[in-house]
Amino acid sequence: MHILLMEDEPELGAYIVRRLGESGHRVDYASRGDTGLGLVSEGNYDLLIVDRMLPGVDGLSLVKSLRKRQPNLPVLFLSNLGGLDDRVEGLNSGGDDYLVKPFAFAELLARVNALLRRPQHTGQPTSMRVGNLEIDLIKRRVTRAGKKIDLQPREFELLEYLMRRTEQIVTRTMLLEGVWRYHFDPKTNIVETHISRLRSKIGSDMIQTVRGSGYLIRAGRAAS
């Protein structure tokens, strides 16, 4: 995938370019807002990663003006400002996701991949299936190989979030934001606890821990 990174710290920029390159993405790099804007109008990008504070044109107004021309281009903000207001401001200006520095590269990669795979049309499915695990979003029912599994509401939401991103790495922070709507890290092990509960209920073979990154769900070995 073709990604444009706008970041004014050259060391961090070079690092992200290299790591994303290793993960199979093609990355262009701009250290200023105005040069970045020029690149966007020329190149055909699948994703933008934009630092909020950029020399030339700042990240917020850059994305705002960009949104008028390319409403479907996913944008991921990077920022030193982690307050709720800053985040809301970033998302309101047209960002699709918001990542606060300092971050682990795994976190960035997971979010980049999530944004790139996001379906362009958001038709809501009524049920989903991974292997022999089935989730009915209307009746809020979960079955594995035809057997009903009882889940707590939070466990159900967690499973739904994972299944919407089947075979995709989901980080701890993404789960906190998506399932608990905590846009901050409360520094507890609630995610781990809930994952282990969920595992014990649906079978330990489906939800995998990706070391240093997060979790992903895929068809279990026991499934056909």
Partner 1 sequence: MQVGQLLRSASFRLTTAYVALFSISVSILASLIYFSATAELQHEIRTRIQVDSVALGAEYARGGTSQLMQAMADRQRGHLVGGLDYTLYGSGGKLLFGKLPSTACRRGWVTFVGPPDGDEPPGEMEKLAVLVTPLAGGECLLVGDDIGKVRKFGSLILGSFGWVFLLTVTMAVAGGIFLSSRFLRRIEAINRTAEAIIEGDINRRIPRRGAPDDLDRLASTLNRMLDRTTSLMDSLRHVSNDVAHDLRTPLGRLRNTLENAKESISSPEDYRAVLDRAVFEVDGILDTFGAILRVAQIESGSRRSGFQRLSLSELVCDVCETFAPSMEDAGKTFLTDIQPGLYVQGDRELLVQSLVNILENAITHTAAGVRVIVSLKRSWRGVELSISDNGAGVPDAECENIFKRFYRLERSRSAAGNGLGLSIVAAVAELHGAKISSSSSNPGLKVTLLFSPVREAA
* Chain residues that interact with partner 1, rule: CB under 8 A: 83-85, 102, 152, 154, 180, 182-184, 186-190, 193-194, 196-197
**Is 69 or 187 the residue whose CB approaches partner 1 more closely?**
187
Find the shortest distance in angstroms from Cβ 99 to partner 1. Answer: 15
Q: Which two tokens stand for residue 164?
A: 């919407």
Indicate the SS3 state at residue 49: strand
d(C-alpha 141, C-alpha 150), whole Å: 8
Percent helix, percent strand, percent coil in the chain, to nearest 5: 40, 20, 40
**Is 42 or 85 the residue whose CB approaches partner 1 more closely?**
85
**Is 102 or 119 the residue whose CB approaches partner 1 more closely?**
102
What's the number of CA atoms in the CB half-sphere (13 Å) around residue 160? 20
Find the shortest distance in angstroms from Cβ 136 to partner 1. Answer: 22
Nearest to 114, CA basis, from 130, 99, 133: 99
Find the shortest distance in angstroms from Cβ 104 to partner 1. Answer: 8
- The Cα-based distances of 202 to 132, 176, 192 in angstroms read 11, 21, 15
d(C-alpha 175, C-alpha 38), whole Å: 35
Find the shortest distance in angstroms from Cβ 88 to partner 1. Answer: 9
Find the shortest distance in angstroms from Cβ 117 to partner 1. Answer: 28
**Is 32 or 199 the residue whose CB approaches partner 1 more closely?**
199
